[in-house]
Structure 1
């Protein structure tokens, strides 16, 4: 009888944990939907304010950074509208040439962004800006390393 009670408690606990994870995923989906509904101006405001908090920007720097982010958000919105499928149409995967073109455009935007930030920020602020890169790629790499070690060092 005690074993049955312990098993029942364990199952209820695991069931509760699994349901919480599903709710977290819904939260991420809702966030991405909210981001899609944001205007370029709102995106630029948020990014400029985050940058101000991290780098202690002056008011003049903040206005310039806001303008850079606003231009970038408007360009991205235009690209997104062109890329999204019209109502009722099925979205097709881009061809190899289109993919190369999109990647070149994205890299050109990043290069231009770096140049503009370098002209706006001080040397110390720019060094901090360079370290603020997204961490997603680092985490993904670390996860892969752990799995490789478990599998016997795949390379």
Structure 2
């Protein structure tokens, strides 16, 4: 009887580990959308969260389109370097990170010009929460254990 029980436990355990992981449905749905559709959805989400007026929406749509184009270019570049399996030198890594930080500074300045002070504060809080969530998922994915984050940003 014990052997039968142990065998049943082993079979149940192996089948539960053998099941496929399902991709997040929202991610696959987003990949099916065109870049213009994704941009429009992002603009509408920001409009709801920040209560943007018409002129702010127009300016934000151009910013979102620019960011989307830059993101696609970076993804293509990353894919090309990943295929070549070439490691970046410390100087190349420094230049890349410096460029990214410069772009973030410019983005903050543009947002300060477009948004009111309350909207800007809310946008900055949203950005911090999103960054924290992404960082937490990356650490969790990398170490295969729950992340222990001390700082909020």
SS in 2 for 1:143: coil
The equivalent residue for 1:150 is: none
Work out the CA distance in 1 between the residues paired with 2:35 and 2:125: 25
Q: Which has the higher contact order (CA 8 A, sep 6+)?
A: 1
Give yes or no for the alignment of 1:60 onto 2:29: no
RMSD: 3.6
Match of 1:23 among 16, 21, 24: 21
From the superposition, tell whether residues 5 and 63 of structure 1 become closer, same or farther in structure 2 (CA, over 3 Å): farther
The equivalent residue for 2:96 is: 102
Deviation of the 1:93 alpha carbon: 1.8
Task: Verify the 8 A CA contact 1:44 1:67 in the aligned structure 2.
Answer: no
The gaps in structure 1 that reach 5 residues or longer are 147-155
The equivalent residue for 1:51 is: 46
Deviation of the 1:103 alpha carbon: 0.7
Give yes or no for the alignment of 1:93 onto 2:87: yes
The gaps in structure 2 that reach 5 residues or longer are 141-145
Work out the CA distance in 2 between the residues paired with 1:54 and 1:11: 50
Work out the CA distance in 2 between the residues paired with 1:100 and 1:38: 34
The equivalent residue for 2:143 is: none
The equivalent residue for 1:137 is: 135
From the superposition, tell whether residues 7 and 50 of structure 1 become closer, same or farther in structure 2 (CA, over 3 Å): farther
SS in 2 for 1:144: coil
Deviation of the 1:5 alpha carbon: 5.4
SS in 1 for 2:42: helix
Work out the CA distance in 2 between the residues paired with 1:19 and 1:50: 38
Deviation of the 1:106 alpha carbon: 0.9
From the superposition, tell whether residues 128 and 145 of structure 1 become closer, same or farther in structure 2 (CA, over 3 Å): closer
Give yes or no for the alignment of 1:123 onto 2:117: yes
TM-score by length of 1: 0.66
Number of equivalences: 139
